[in-house]
Amino acid sequence: MEKFIVSARKYRPATFASVVGQQHITSTFVNAIKRNQLAHAYIFCGPRGVGKTTCARIIAKTINCMNPTSNNEACDKCESCMAFNKNASFNIHELDAASNNSVEDIRDLSRQVLTPPQVGKYSIYIIDEVHMLSSSAFNAFLKTLEEPPEYAIFILATTEKHKILPTILSRCQIYDFKRIKVGDVVDYLQMISAKEDVTYDKQSLTLIAQKADGCMRDALSMYDKVVSYCNSKLSIKKVAEALNILDYETYFDFVKAIYSGDYQKTLLMFDSVLQKGFDVGKIIEGLNKHLRDMLVSQSDKTISLLELPDEVAQQFKKNAKNLESEFIFNAMSLLTTCQEGLRNSLNQRLLCELVLLKLCNLKGQCFASIPENKASLPIIINRVGDDEVIAPKSIAVPKKNVAEEVVVEKKAVEAVVEKKESKRAVAPKARVVESPKSAKHSILGIPLLNHIADEKKSSADEKKKSEDNSFAEGEPIKKELLSDACLAFVDTIKDKKKRLAIALSESTYEDGMIKISVDNKTLEEDLNKYKANILKGILSKGNLSGSIDFEVKLCKSTKKKIAIFTSDGERLEHLIKKNPKMGKLVKSLDLEFQYK
């Protein structure tokens, strides 16, 4: 039995013509080889699995071929080509920079470059994942890369060009590889299926190509997997099961249930999909992409954006014609917001179910029926006397043709004009008729922000004023009663508000007045700030009623400051300043103090 080789290796392109989806690269090198205009260093950058290393190997094989074809392809018959096919060529050197990224590895490479090729014209050095080299290794490589021997060609491959030093980039020709189109991947898989005797439908291969996201190597790996799962008979249902992705029909059913507003069916379908092991994020992402495909399929101008087989594209077009574009826009916006919120959500399922419920209610919000316009007479404000203004009640008018409506309105206006002319001699005092709504509200009936702020401010001022007035009512309270009530209040706050308690306990009293002296500004501000609460507490503790107030006076502290010394020397200097005789005694006796 023949040994199995994975498709990515077995069907790896060996010529420029067989490279898929990179014609802008292959045609450039074919012309460069034909004109003998090869540079000494190239950088191949692009996504994974799109043919960077494959193209580098084809270039190395072709430029060393002894008998190239008329199309500038390798002959596969000469000594150099045969050695290359057997992986025994001494002219092609491949280095993995991910594991050989030190300065010593680059120095070994620089020494190896000095050895000329034994067979063929060029020594080709292919360095894969070159962005993994350290900064020191890049700097050690600069001189060799700038002035290599004439037989040396460097091809650097990377998926992250931005990590390469600018000094390296400036010394190389840069080629950007593109993601491979879905159609190109499908065609390549069809070619392989024909050679491997695998039966398939085009939709199943399209599903593989879409899942690969432009990466041919991933597509071939998935192809091998589904061929084994389906026993060489590919169908879209089995391929979807093997790759753990939802097929088009499931999403069509989702959209149908959502658009009809059937939230019960939608939630049951969502639960059924979750039971199959699908991730909530993948479901939302797939539904969003499905709606995008339905949107572009609504117009013949944009249907070409669908990278799907014709029969699937027609199915999208058929299902999308019943959907309004506005509904799809709003649905995609909700789903995109949900995708962003899933990263920080603690309950992802609940978040997705909430979004699905909003989607079910979306149609009713976007396309509510607009009420028909009703014919109405112009509003006429009649003046009754000098102070009353009466507006007539609304009158239901049956539908008439346009001519009749014009006549009615014209007569009504003429009646108003005649009435004004008859009363012009009276010339009543002008009166401003206010709108039924308060002037504090906008046209839509929403309160204006400045009026809200004014109302809050006025209510706060009124509250403060009422509180201040509540302590000024009645006869002044006797100072004896006031003193007892204040001391009782001090006992209740001395544990939590010590500073306030001390200030109140040292205050003096008069009839209806408490005089408090404090020695710092902060305490004065606190007493004034909590004035209403303090007075209320004093009245409550003494069970008093009447006029009461207090005043706070800021004065200098009478407490003696305690001297603090950091050393014995400072203490001695302080004592000498306080008592000069001690200084004379120390000097006369010639004393010396030993400081600790």
Q: pLDDT at position 126, please?
A: 92
- DSSP H helix total and E strand total for the chain: 26, 10
**What confidence category does residue 405 fall into, taking pLDDT thresholds of 50, 70 and 90?**
very low
Average pLDDT on 219-239 reads 89
Q: Which of 210, 174, 168, 175 is nearest to 189 (CA)?
A: 210
Return the minimum-mean-pLDDT range out of 64-73, 350-359, 577-586.
Answer: 577-586
Q: pLDDT at position 241, please?
A: 84
Q: pLDDT at position 562, please?
A: 56
Return the minimum-mean-pLDDT range out of 229-233, 249-253, 291-295, 522-526.
Answer: 522-526
- Only one residue has tokens 């077995």, namely 10
Pairing mode, strands 549-554 and 41-45: unpaired
Q: What is the C-alpha to C-alpha distance for residues 558 and 406, in angstroms, rounded to an integer?
A: 93
In what order do the strands lie in the sheet containing 508-510?
508-510, 513-518, 549-554
Contact at 8 Å (CB) between 550 and 534?
yes
Residues 6+ apart with CB under 8 A from 232: 196, 197, 198, 199
Q: DSSP strand E in 31-151: where?
A: 41-45, 92-96, 123-128
pLDDT at 426 over 50: no
Residue range 347-357, pLDDT digits in tens: 999 999 999 99
Percent of the chain at pLDDT exceeding 70: 79
The rounded Cα 324 to chain-centroid distance in angstroms is 28
Q: Which of 85, 30, 80, 34 is nearest to 59 (CA)?
A: 30
Return the minimum-mean-pLDDT range out of 256-270, 307-321, 434-448, 570-584.
Answer: 434-448
Q: What is the C-alpha to C-alpha distance for residues 74 and 65, in angstroms, rounded to an integer?
A: 6
Tokens (6 digits) for 515: 């005089």
Cβ atoms within 10 Å, residue 278: 17
What is the C-alpha R_g of the chain? 46
Q: Please give the biggest Cα pair distance in the chain.
A: 129
Residue range 263-290, pLDDT digits in tens: 899 999 999 999 888 888 889 998 999 9
State the distance between the two ends of the chain, measured CA to CA, in whole angstroms: 98
Q: Which of 94, 106, 109 is nearest to 133 (CA)?
A: 106
pTM: 0.56
